[in-house]
Structure 1
Amino acid sequence: MVVTVGLVAGTTLPAMRAAAATTAQQERFTNPVIWQDFADLEVIRVGDTYYYTGSTMHFSPGAPVLRSYDLVNWEFIGHSVPVLDFGDAYDLKGGRAYVQGIYASSMRYRPSDKTFYWLGQIGWQRSYVYRATDAAGPWTRHAEISSGYYDAGLLFDDDGTPYVAYGVNEIRVAQLSADMRTEVRSEHVLTKPDALHLMEGSRFYKINGNYYIFVTRPPNGQYIWKSTSGPFGPYEMREVLLNLPGPIPGGGIPHQGSLVDTPNGDWYYMGFIDAYPGGRVPALAPVTWNAAGWPELQTVDGAWGETYPYPVTPHPLPPMTGADTFEGTALAPHWEWNHNPDTAAFTVNNGLTLRTATVTDDLYNARNTLTRRIQGPASTATVVLDYSEMADGDRAGLAMLRDSSAWIGVTRQNGVSRLVMFDGLTMDANWNTSSTGTEQARADLPASGSRVWLRAAADISPGPGRQATFSYSTDGATFTRLGPAFTMNERPHFFMGYRFAVFNHATRALGGKVRVERFELRACAPAANPGAVDTNAWYVLVNRNSGKALDVSGVSSEDGAAVTQWARIDGTNQQFQFLDSGDGYYRLKARHSGKLLDVASWSTADNAAIHQWSDHGGANQQFRLADSPDGYVRLINRNSGKAVEVPGFSSEDGTGIVQYSDWGGVNQQWKLVRVGFVGFPSC
């Protein structure tokens, strides 16, 4: 189904209607609703409040709990699994638990006992139940069940009876005892059709008397099974989506996730998008139900919408970015350790003291590494570190942490503290360390100093070649780059995205410590309006009429090469940087060739061709952005005053781009889709 949004091109509104349209536009949300790594999600509603859980793998505490009042604005309130007490490997003792732990679990509320329950499989043979009367906690372990409920979907029936849908390809339903401690029965209820290469990620619902098992075909499909005869079936299947274009440039297809309703009876689907190197991020779309009781996703122009109207009245919450000075005596819930921490080796007391807990030269083996999700599509983390009580051999700093890692930090050798930047820390396919890294740069610290500001800046917009940079300051004002840019790994098999990580470990002997005085996560904000275009970004320009991208024909690097429209592939010949020419004008530089959009022969005539040409700074290479409805812009040439246009309203690949008198038509309107950064964005 196509949802049509916005105004008819060229329509002029009276002042009152224009104001109303502006208000309506403000009441829309933009996907992803959270640009942070919250995968394998489940969203539930209790009254007028929504709760969200997801995967954390080896990070502790596990199973985050987020809260919202509008399905769009979310806050971190706790974790369902306070400690990963599932064996010594989770303590980095005698082994490691990377890519194990909490994944595709389930959280539900049972009205009969006014209790939240979390259920998840750990390993392959056992599942655990945690519970709390308040979603914010405290949560306690309630039961250990000797069955592995893989990708569990928990359901409480109308009478409070608990059921679990689980499995991969062969989906089973288990009935649990009323006290949630034992399994009563388990039956096979459905089998993957041959056409689906994989089926998992169960979510279990009872809606209008029917039972539904919502499953995913990763990474590009979502299906639903319906039973009118009870939780054990029989079930029949329908496709919900397959290969549906997603709302994030370079990102994957929304899938897995959860169905949820509003108090008004409207339904929504929250799925996640593969967006590595940043991880998997949630996107929201409305759902309707047809007369036969099947859900239908509401799309926009054949894709998952970039924006939709708010589900309910917006309820803003504090952003998931900002500064933390570690007030009080406990960490805020947005922090998670890499494996369980040694609780005797850190203290929170208006600052965070990290004592060395491990003697190792391998950051992947170091306990008490504290992590924070990265805000996409780009953000910086800045740590203020007091290193005055480090011991010889200690390393403390700020890392980009994943299966390929890098860091900036302070090392102490022979009583002298220095700044260093390491990269090349890697794991193999079994998550064993294959390299502990190589020092790439160093810098001296003032002999009398004790405090340093460390900064990591990361572009996690989806795709290969994304980079992070490291810098430092001794006064908190002037930052100096240290070391080369670090290219992140976008392969999905680690399942978690990159994180910022604060660490302190020994390489010789325990006894040293550092104090983290402040941590600040700052988002690199997208352009708020056409006049604020990011000159440090690469953009794809998508025509409103055809949905196709501005394209340098044949990936040519020659002067005079034609500029056409073509199906969007986000190739380098479809990516342009806006170079500031002053007075609100820009030159558009093609990424592959370094050449500019140019009106041929300085023409001022309608239908004059647009091609690429070497940069000579002329007015025929300069364009201003004129605002159009719904976030689109028109490109107005400085020399001619005419607009860049797809002639004849063509939707054909290869149609040559021209200039034409500015009349505001949809074939003159372009959406600027940021797909990456030049070097690194300033935040």
Structure 2
Amino acid sequence: MKLKQWMSTVLLLALAFVGVHATDTFTNPVIFSDVPDPDVIRVGNDYYMVSTTMHLSPGCPVMKSKDLVHWKMIGYVFDELHESEKNDLIGGDVYGRGQWAACIRYHKGEYYVFFGTGGRSYLYSAKDPAGKWQLRATLPQYMHDASLLFDDDGRVYLASGSSHIRIMEFKKDLSGLDPNGLNVEVIPGEPAGLLEGTHLYKVNGKYYLSLIWWPQGGIRTQLCFRSDSIAGPYERKVILSDDLGWAGHGVAQGGFVDTPDGKWYAMLFQDHDAVGRVPVLVPCRWTDGWPMLGDDNGKVPHEMAVPVKGYENEKTVITVSDDFNEPRLSLEWQWNHNPDNSLWSLTERKGWMRLRTGQPVADIFAARNTLSQRTMGPKCSGEIALDLTHMKEGDHAGLSAYCSDPGCLEVVKENGKKYLLMTDRRAEKARVALNGNRVYLRMDCDFTTDTALFYYSTNGKKWTALGTPFHMVYTLKHFMGNRFAIFNYATKEAGGYVDVDYFHFR
């Protein structure tokens, strides 16, 4: 590891252990977890944020905060998407696709979220962002990294694209795009390099487009375009180019928001390897009509003042322990694709989650009902307890560092006997025989080295390491950070099941 990146890792680790404490400061990343493509708004004294969760279900998480620093889950925009059978893991999959780069807006008492999936695009609305969202429009085309603007004159615009950015107009009833409305390319692929992540605003009578720019040989950089007219022409300016000391990983892409007392911020993200893409809160200084990001030197602060005082004892809660005592899953859980709701239950055995196997499959990626939560940096641990009594021949059940290249601690039933395996990218590294029907599995993650270690226990007290250190990676196949995942699937016959007593997160 390069010296600069090593020093940055040490600094981030030290700051993260200090954490968001009961003072008036916090440390970046503001959430050390996979919350990519953030968009944020303020309604009164409350802040709302949406993010990308790709193929997971339910999708498009909605979070709430009082101070832009401490965030909690309040719901999802949709429970399931049904573009094809692949959303149900039939005839293929949608890994790395699904819900991308949502935009959230508030207009005349109603919340709106727009996002694309790589195949189609969707507009949802809700009176209560923690309640049920209604589908308002389905567009047959994919609008890449799109952003909504409700203009002062009642017209509604949508900006989207990659390199070539186009602004189009919605129908007045928001049922779709208006074929007779505005439709103009405002950024014709310049400057050269990747341009995406559009966010469209109107501030003090001017129109602003904020995008990431990834020049060849450079880092992800935040660009801003502005114009006196929605249709342009637009002039441009670099408003941030900084990597927060994490060499080569530029902080960019996200939403702008103000506080009730008139201060401005941007919630951007940074690629942070195996943990995923982490949100970074950046101060915004309006200079000559440009929203310049960072401190006075244009750098993202490692530590800065909490934007809104009075909530310092709050905590960010986006990954939780669960004893499965409630009749519904905690909001923080997501399935790997649309779930088969006939194959899981929180009521068949009180205080346990039952995971049944369905149609036999080849591996974890083809299996329905893999249940997961985010990991968190710089270090974290997840533990489960399993009752294996009703496993069938060929069944696999366990705990995974879940991504496109997974590491797993899995129980396998072979020739009538149960074995515990540690696998690295589906290659077996170690195994032990199991004599009982209850086992405890633990995964410890260290994102200063992107390493996970697996442990097992037969009594929940004495732990034994199994296998080799697992090197976690981030790839574009799944396009998300490593997650804690609980799984159970059949390779020979359906109908077996395991019961999960708890998931404990530390």
| TM-score above 0.5 | yes
SS of residue paired to 1:90 = helix
Change (3 A) 1:246 1:318: closer
SS of residue paired to 1:470 = strand
**What does 1:483-522 align with in structure 2 at a 5 Å threshold?**
483-491=467-475, 494-522=478-506
Change (3 A) 1:199 1:86: same
CA distance in 2 between counterparts of 1:519 and 1:421 reads 19
Once the two structures are TM-superposed, the CA of residue 422 in structure 1 deviates from its matched residue by 1.5
Cross-structure match for 1:44: 41
| Aligned with 1:457 (options 435, 444, 448) | 444
Once the two structures are TM-superposed, the CA of residue 166 in structure 1 deviates from its matched residue by 0.5
Once the two structures are TM-superposed, the CA of residue 521 in structure 1 deviates from its matched residue by 1.6
Cross-structure match for 1:409: 410
Cross-structure match for 2:10: none
1:259 aligns with 2:256: yes
SS of residue paired to 1:128 = strand
Cross-structure match for 1:66: 63
Cross-structure match for 1:621: none
Q: Give the unaligned 5+ runs of structure 2.
A: 1-19
CA distance in 1 between counterparts of 2:381 and 2:248 reads 21
Cross-structure match for 1:117: 112
Conserved 8 A contact 2:266-2:281: yes
CA distance in 1 between counterparts of 2:223 and 2:192 reads 10
Q: Deviations over 1:32-88 (max 9, x none)?
A: 111110111101111111111111111111111111000000001111121021211
Cross-structure match for 2:6: none
CA distance in 2 between counterparts of 1:320 and 1:63 reads 14
**What does 1:202-601 align with in structure 2 at a 5 Å threshold?**
202-218=198-214, 219-229=219-229, 231-242=230-241, 244-246=242-244, 249=246, 252-290=249-287, 292-299=288-295, 303-315=299-311, 316-317=314-315, 319-349=317-347, 350-424=351-425, 437-446=426-435, 449-461=436-448, 466-491=450-475, 494-522=478-506
AA of the residue aligned to 1:306:
H
AA of the residue aligned to 1:115:
E
CA distance in 1 between counterparts of 2:164 and 2:94 reads 27
Once the two structures are TM-superposed, the CA of residue 319 in structure 1 deviates from its matched residue by 3.5
Q: Deviations over 1:252-275 (max 9, x none)?
A: 211011111111111001110100
SS of residue paired to 1:478 = coil
CA distance in 2 between counterparts of 1:438 and 1:518 reads 27
1:173 aligns with 2:172: no
Conserved 8 A contact 1:192-1:199: no
Deviates more, 1:133-142 or 1:399-408: 133-142
AA of the residue aligned to 2:365:
Y
Change (3 A) 1:322 1:103: closer
Cross-structure match for 2:132: 138
CA distance in 2 between counterparts of 1:364 and 1:476 reads 29
Conserved 8 A contact 2:51-2:60: yes
Q: Deviations over 1:330-381 (max 9, x none)?
A: 2111111111111111112332111112312311111111111111112111
Conserved 8 A contact 2:252-2:270: yes
SS of residue paired to 2:321 = strand
Change (3 A) 1:491 1:413: closer
CA distance in 1 between counterparts of 2:369 and 2:354 reads 11
SS of residue paired to 2:72 = strand
Deviates more, 1:66-75 or 1:334-343: 334-343
Change (3 A) 1:24 1:504: closer
Conserved 8 A contact 1:250-1:275: no
Q: Deviations over 1:178-212 (max 9, x none)?
A: 22111112422422564431111111111112111
SS of residue paired to 1:360 = coil
AA of the residue aligned to 2:331:
P
Once the two structures are TM-superposed, the CA of residue 119 in structure 1 deviates from its matched residue by 1.0
1:200 aligns with 2:192: no
CA distance in 2 between counterparts of 1:503 and 1:87 reads 23
Higher gyration radius (CA): 1
Determine which structure has greater relative contact order: mean sequence separation of CA pairs < 8 Å that are 6+ residues apart, divided by chain length: 2
Once the two structures are TM-superposed, the CA of residue 127 in structure 1 deviates from its matched residue by 1.4
Deviates more, 1:114-123 or 1:84-93: 114-123
CA distance in 1 between counterparts of 2:502 and 2:153 reads 49
Conserved 8 A contact 1:119-1:152: yes
Once the two structures are TM-superposed, the CA of residue 297 in structure 1 deviates from its matched residue by 1.6
Once the two structures are TM-superposed, the CA of residue 134 in structure 1 deviates from its matched residue by 1.1
Conserved 8 A contact 1:321-1:520: no
Change (3 A) 1:330 1:150: same
CA distance in 2 between counterparts of 1:194 and 1:152 reads 18
SS of residue paired to 2:34 = coil
Conserved 8 A contact 2:319-2:375: no
CA distance in 1 between counterparts of 2:253 and 2:320 reads 30
Conserved 8 A contact 2:398-2:410: yes
CA distance in 2 between counterparts of 1:513 and 1:459 reads 31
Cross-structure match for 1:101: 98
Conserved 8 A contact 2:397-2:489: yes
In angstroms, what is the RMSD of aligned CA positions?
Answer: 2.0
Change (3 A) 1:145 1:486: same
CA distance in 1 between counterparts of 2:188 and 2:504 reads 46
AA of the residue aligned to 2:236:
M
Change (3 A) 1:251 1:38: farther
| Aligned with 2:184 (options 171, 183, 188) | 188
Change (3 A) 1:279 1:314: farther
Change (3 A) 1:138 1:351: farther
Once the two structures are TM-superposed, the CA of residue 321 in structure 1 deviates from its matched residue by 4.3
Change (3 A) 1:25 1:318: closer
Q: Give the unaligned 5+ runs of structure 1.
A: 1-22, 425-436, 523-683
Once the two structures are TM-superposed, the CA of residue 138 in structure 1 deviates from its matched residue by 1.3
AA of the residue aligned to 1:211:
Y
AA of the residue aligned to 1:236:
E
Change (3 A) 1:115 1:468: same
Change (3 A) 1:69 1:326: same
SS of residue paired to 1:199 = strand
CA distance in 2 between counterparts of 1:314 and 1:298 reads 24
CA distance in 2 between counterparts of 1:321 and 1:251 reads 28
Once the two structures are TM-superposed, the CA of residue 388 in structure 1 deviates from its matched residue by 1.4
Change (3 A) 1:300 1:497: farther
**What does 1:625-640 align with in structure 2 at a 5 Å threshold?**
none
CA distance in 1 between counterparts of 2:261 and 2:409 reads 50
CA distance in 1 between counterparts of 2:494 and 2:153 reads 56
Conserved 8 A contact 1:391-1:511: yes
AA of the residue aligned to 1:138:
K
CA distance in 1 between counterparts of 2:411 and 2:333 reads 22
Conserved 8 A contact 2:404-2:477: no
Q: Deviations over 1:559-618 (max 9, x none)?
A: xxxxxxxxxxxxxxxxxxxxxxxxxxxxxxxxxxxxxxxxxxxxxxxxxxxxxxxxxxxx
What is the aligned length?
476
Q: Deviations over 1:456-510 (max 9, x none)?
A: 111223xxx6321111111111110011111222445642111111100011111
SS of residue paired to 2:273 = coil
Conserved 8 A contact 1:117-1:129: yes
